[in-house]
Amino acid sequence: AQKITQTQPGMFVQEKEAVTLDCTYDTSDQSYGLFWYKQPSSGEMIFLIYQGSYDEQNATEGRYSLNFQKARKSANLVISASQLGDSAMYFCAMREGGGGSYIPTFGRGTSLIVHP
């Protein structure tokens, strides 16, 4: 079974609108972390945001926020006020456990296209 599921292969959004990229996860650990990465067409992988399983508040980083719903095991990325430069692949990832090596597992990604 996949540990990280991203059900949206592609998403489209109008510039300046908000968009939500879905991510659900599967783990039996109590301590875990969730991440989002961005991969623009140039190919590099960029770390965006992190949410810990014990964090009570949703993580935010500038225009990025993580809508963490623990009971539903979802960790959706919300991008507010989309910009053309947000067009990219977005990957959700999870690491399990609270110590030692954190080995992240990635979802298959969602392609986001921002229209002018």
Partner 1 sequence: DAGITQSPRHKVTETGTPVTLRCHQTENHRYMYWYRQDPGHGLRLIHYSYGVKDTDKGEVSDGYSVSRSKTEDFLLTLESATSSQTSVYFCAIQPSGGDGELFFGEGSRLTVL
Buried b (16+ CB within 10 A) or exposed e, 59-80: beeeebbbbbeeeeebbbbbbe
Nearer to partner 1, 3 or 16 (CB): 3
Nearer to partner 1, 1 or 116 (CB): 1
Window contacting partner 1 (CB under 8 A); options: 14-22, 38-46, 60-68, 71-79 = 38-46
Q: What is the C-alpha to C-alpha distance for residues 83 and 99, in angstroms, rounded to an integer?
A: 37
58 binds partner 1 (CB under 8 A): no
Among 13, 24, 107, 112, interactor with partner 1 by CB under 8 A? 107
Residues in CB range of 57: below 8 A, 6 or more apart: none
Beta partners for residue 39, in sequence order: 89
113 binds partner 1 (CB under 8 A): no
Instruction: Tell me the closest approach of the beta carbon of residue 7 to partner 1, in angstroms.
Output: 13
105 binds partner 1 (CB under 8 A): yes
